[in-house]
Amino acid sequence: MGENRSTIGNWQFKAADESDWLPAQVPGCVHTDLLRNGRIPDPFYGTNEGDLQWIDKKDWEYTSQFDVSEDVLANTHVEIVFAGLDTYADVYLNNQLILSADNMFRTWRADVKALLKAKSNVLKVHFRSPIQEDLPKLEKLGYALPATNDQSERGGLGDKRLSVFARKAPYHYGWDWGPRFVTSGIWRDVWLEAWSEARITDFFIQQNEVQRTRAKLTAVITVEVDEDFAGSVQIRTDGVDVSEAVELRAGINQVEVDVVLENPALWWSRGLGEQALYTFTATLLRGGHEVAHKSTRTGLRSLRLVREKDADGTSFYFELNGVPVFAKGANHIPNDSFLTEVTYERYKHEIVTAVESNMNMLRVWGGGIYENDAFYDLCDEYGILVWQDFMFACSMYPGDEPFLENVRLEAQENVTRLRNHPCIALWCGNNEIDTAWSQYDEDAGWGWKQQYSPEIRAKIWADYEAIFHRILPEVIERLAPGAAYWPSSPMQALTHDKHQHARNDSTSGDIHYWGVWHAVEPFANYNVYLGRFMSEYGFQSFPELKTVQTYASAADMALESDVMRWHQRSGDGNRLIKEYMDIYFKQPKDFSSFLYMSQVLQAEAIKMAMEAHRRKKPFCMGTLYWQMNDCWPVASWSSMDYYGRWKALQYYAKKSFRDVSVSVGGTDELVEVHVISDILDATVGTLSMTVFDFAGNRLNERVESVSVPGNTASVFYAAPVSTFVGEHAASDVVLVVTLEQNGEVVDAKEHYFVPANQISLQMPTIVVREVEGSGGSTFVLETDILAKNVWISSEEDGIFSDNYFDLIPGVPKTVQFLQRPSGENRFRPASAGTISVHSMAEFIQQ
C-alpha cells in the first residue's frame, strides 16, 4: 500500500577502459571522485584545469551492489529512479539494459520488479563521453551552430562547439566567468521506489483567484492505480478539509478538487509582508482506509507580469497581490562547477545574503541548471522572487525531432516540479538568443546569421521558434496556467518584426546593458540607458587576497601572470579593470592594493547603475545586476566570491537596495536628492544635507521635513553644486544626505563633487574600540580625517553589518560582525576574532 523508498548506496567507479574500481560518492561526478581518490590535482588551482581536459573524452562506469528487503520485493511495482544522470548513460541491472539517458535535466526511471533479487543485485551505469557522443551530430548537421561561450579550444576541440547538442548545463563547457569541466556522473539521488495498489505521483495547487478575502484553488492530483478503483480523495490544510468521491481507471488518472480558503494568509516577497506558507495533504481513501497520500507546500498569492501600453512605451513589472513590485537583486549562476559540492548551507548563505542585501529577486540564468529543490524552498521561505530561465543561453540549437521532444519532456518535468513554489515569478525561454540572432534586423545582433546561406538561416530560425515560441509556452500554458512566460531576455515584445529585438534605449520589455564594461563606455552612461526592467548589467572585480591565494602562489601575484589570466575568462577582462581604474581612480601601489581597488571600482560602478534604475521608478521597475555568485575562485562580475566572501559590491548593494533609500543624482552643475520607497506605508521624517570638509568641520547644512509616499521615487531637493560647495574646493568636501524617522537613521549616503581620482586623500588614523559586553562582535570606528572605503577584515568566516564605507571625523561608525547562517535563519552576531582595518589611502601611490 502506498510508496516505499530505499536509497541505493555503496558505489564504485572507474574509467571504462581500466580494470581497477575506486570508491565513489553518489551524488557526485567523475572529477570530484578522481580528486577524492588522489588521481588528479585540485582542478581550481593555478592552471590545472588545462591538464584535466582528458576526462571528458573517456567513458566512465559506476557500479553498486545492493540487497533488497522482502517488504520491498513484496510490492506489485518496484522502480529504480535516477533523479539526475549527467548526461549520456546506459543503465544495467543484473546485466540487463534497463534504460538509456540523454538529458541531465530529466528524471529517469524503470520498472525493475522482474529483475530484482533479495541479495547481491548489481547496478551498473555506463557514461558515454559527451564529446565522443556529440562529435558525430556536428558532422551530420554539416554546419556549426553559434555557441559564443563554449570554450571548445580549451578542450582540445578547436572550433568544434558541441554544447548545443547535449541537454546538459551549458556552463560546463566554459563561460566568460567559468572553467571548462564537462562532467559525467550520477548528480542527483538514486533510489528504489516500491508501491502497490495506488500512488500519488504529483500534487499541484492551482491558484485560480487569490484575494485577501478568499482564495479559489484547484487541487490537481495525479494518481496511478493498479486496477479500477472506487474511493475518495481528501484535501487538507489549515482551515480546509474537503473530500470528493473518485472512480479511477487502471493506470494514470488526474483528479481535480476545488478548494476555497476564506481570508487566506498571503505570501509576500521580502519587504512587503510575511512569507505565509501552507502545507496541503492529499489522501486517497478506500473504504475509509488510507491507500496513498502526498503533501506539498505552497504560498497563496496573485502574481503577474504587467505589460501595458503607457505614455513611454510598454510597462514591464511584477504585480504581487495587487502591489507593483520594484525588483531588486541579481543574476544567479550555479554555485560550483561541480554541482554536487553545493551544500544546503551554501544555498542558505546565498539566499540569506540576498535577504541581508535587501533584495527581493534572483534570476536563475539559462546557462546553468534548473536548481535543486532546496534553492526554491529557501526562496519561498525568505520571500525572494525567482525569474526562472529555461536552460538555453547564447547559442542556437538543433531542431531535429528527437532533440525537440527531449526539450519538451525536460520542460514538462521541470515546470511540474517547480510550479507549486510561490517564489516563481516568470518563466523565460532563454538568455540573449533573440538579441544575438536578431532575425528581423540585418544590422543588429552578434554577427551570427550572416555566416549562413539563406536556406540554413531560415532553418536555424525555424528551429529557434519551435522551441521558444511553440514548445515552451505550450508547456507553461498546459501545466502552470496563468504563469508568465517571456521568450528571451532581453526582448521588447513578440512582434515578429525588428521591434522584437531589445536595444539599449528600448522603452518596452527588458534590457541587458553592457556598454559599460564590454564597450568601455563611461559609468555615467548608467544614467542614460534606462529601460523598463534592467535584467543584466555588470562590472568585474577580483576576489580578495585570501581567495586569490587559494589558486595562486606568491610568484603569480601579477595582473598578467599566467594564473591571473587563466582565472579571468572575459577576454581582456584584466586589462579592462585596469583601464577603468586608470580613468576613475588613483594608481594602486602594488598587486594586493589592485585587488582591493578593483572591488571598490566595481562597487562604485554598479552603485551608480542600481540607484539610477531605482530613481527612475516607476518607468523602470527592476534592477538585476550580473552576477550574485561564482562557480570557482576567479576574477568575475560577482558580488560574492566562490567561498561566499562578500565583495565590496555586496555591501554596496545592501545599502543601495534599502527599502527606503536616499540617492544623490543630477549633473556636474546640479545636485538632486532623491528619496525612494519600496514599502507601502508613508515615511515621515527629516532629510538633512550636510557638507563636511575632510577634517570633519560642518560647512553647510540644510534640514527638510519630508513625507515620502509608499512605493514611489521623487526628487525632494535640488540645487546648484555651488549652493553646497560655496567658496571651498570641490575636491576637499563631501555632502552627507541623511534620512531620519523617529530619531533613527533610515539611510545615509555620501556624495562627492569630483571623481575619486581628484579627491584629496591623506592617510587617516582610524581608532577601533570594541563595545563592552558585545563578546567581540561590535566595534565603534572613529577617524581624525576622512577615511574612504574603510575595509574591515576578520580571520573568522562571516560578514560585517557594513563595510567599504566612508568614515567622517566626528561621525563615529558602529559595525557588528555576523557569522554565516547554519542552523539559524539569519546572520548572527559572533566574535570577529582578530580584525584589521584599512582605507583607500593605504592602497594608492601617494
pTM of the entire predicted model: 0.97
Cβ neighbors of 130 (< 8 A, separation 6 or more) are 56, 87, 88, 162, 166, 168, 182, 184
Residue 110 corresponds to which cell in the numbers above? 524503470
pLDDT for 559 beyond 90: yes
Cβ neighbors of 361 (< 8 A, separation 6 or more) are 269, 327, 328, 329, 384, 385, 386, 387, 425, 622, 624
Residue 66 bridge partners (DSSP): 121
Three-state SS string over 205-216 comes to: EEEEEECCCEEE
pLDDT for 108 beyond 60: yes
Distance, CA of 436 to CA of 438 (rounded, Å)? 6
Contact assessment for residue 317 and residue 486, using Cβ atoms and an 8 Å cutoff:
no
pLDDT at 779: 97
The Cβ of residue 249 has, within 10 Å, a number of other Cβ atoms equal to 10
Cβ neighbors of 493 (< 8 A, separation 6 or more) are 307, 314, 499, 500, 508, 509
pLDDT at 529: 96
CATH number of the domain at 761-846, please? Answer: 2.60.40.10
Distance, CA of 695 to CA of 434 (rounded, Å)? 54
Contact assessment for residue 294 and residue 282, using Cβ atoms and an 8 Å cutoff:
yes
Cβ neighbors of 163 (< 8 A, separation 6 or more) are 147, 150, 170, 172, 173, 395
CATH number of the domain at 659-760, please? Answer: 2.60.40.10
Q: How far is CA 197 from the centre of its chain?
A: 41
Residue pLDDT, tens place only, 166-190: 999 999 999 999 999 999 999 999 9
Contact assessment for residue 306 and residue 319, using Cβ atoms and an 8 Å cutoff:
yes
Cβ neighbors of 462 (< 8 A, separation 6 or more) are 399
Residue 836 binned pLDDT confidence (cut-offs 50, 70, 90): very high
Across 355-376, average pLDDT: 98
What phi and psi values does residue 640 have, to the nearest 5 degrees?
-145, 125
Distance, CA of 86 to CA of 331 (rounded, Å)? 24
Residue pLDDT, tens place only, 33-58: 999 999 999 999 999 999 999 999 99
Distance, CA of 801 to CA of 829 (rounded, Å)? 9
Residue 2 binned pLDDT confidence (cut-offs 50, 70, 90): low
Across 136-155, average pLDDT: 96
Cβ neighbors of 465 (< 8 A, separation 6 or more) are none
Fold of 197-298: Immunoglobulin-like (2.60.40)
Residue pLDDT, tens place only, 425-447: 999 999 999 999 999 999 999 99
Residue 666 binned pLDDT confidence (cut-offs 50, 70, 90): confident
Pairing of the two strands 424-428 and 385-389: parallel
Distance, CA of 254 to CA of 243 (rounded, Å)? 15
pLDDT at 281: 98
Residue pLDDT, tens place only, 767-797: 999 999 999 999 999 999 999 999 999 988 8
DSSP string for 57-100:
GS-EEEEEEE---HHHHTSSEEEEEES-EESEEEEEETTEEEEE
pLDDT at 268: 98
pLDDT for 1 beyond 60: no
For the domain 321-656, what is the CATH superfamily, name and number?
Glycosidases (3.20.20.80)
Contact assessment for residue 759 and residue 788, using Cβ atoms and an 8 Å cutoff:
yes
Residue 668 binned pLDDT confidence (cut-offs 50, 70, 90): confident
pLDDT for 733 beyond 60: yes
- For residue 614, the 8-state DSSP code is H
For the domain 2-191, what is the CATH superfamily, name and number?
Galactose-binding domain-like (2.60.120.260)
Name which residue leads in pLDDT, 4 or 607: 607
Residue pLDDT, tens place only, 639-663: 999 999 999 999 999 999 999 999 9
Contact assessment for residue 662 and residue 713, using Cβ atoms and an 8 Å cutoff:
no
pLDDT for 820 beyond 90: no
The CATH 3.20.20.80 portion of the chain extends over 321-656
Residues of the chain with pLDDT > 70: what percent? 100
The CATH 2.60.40.10 portion of the chain extends over 197-298, 659-760, 761-846
Residue pLDDT, tens place only, 187-223: 999 999 999 999 999 999 999 999 999 999 999 999 9
Contact assessment for residue 177 and residue 636, using Cβ atoms and an 8 Å cutoff:
yes
The CATH 2.60.120.260 portion of the chain extends over 2-191
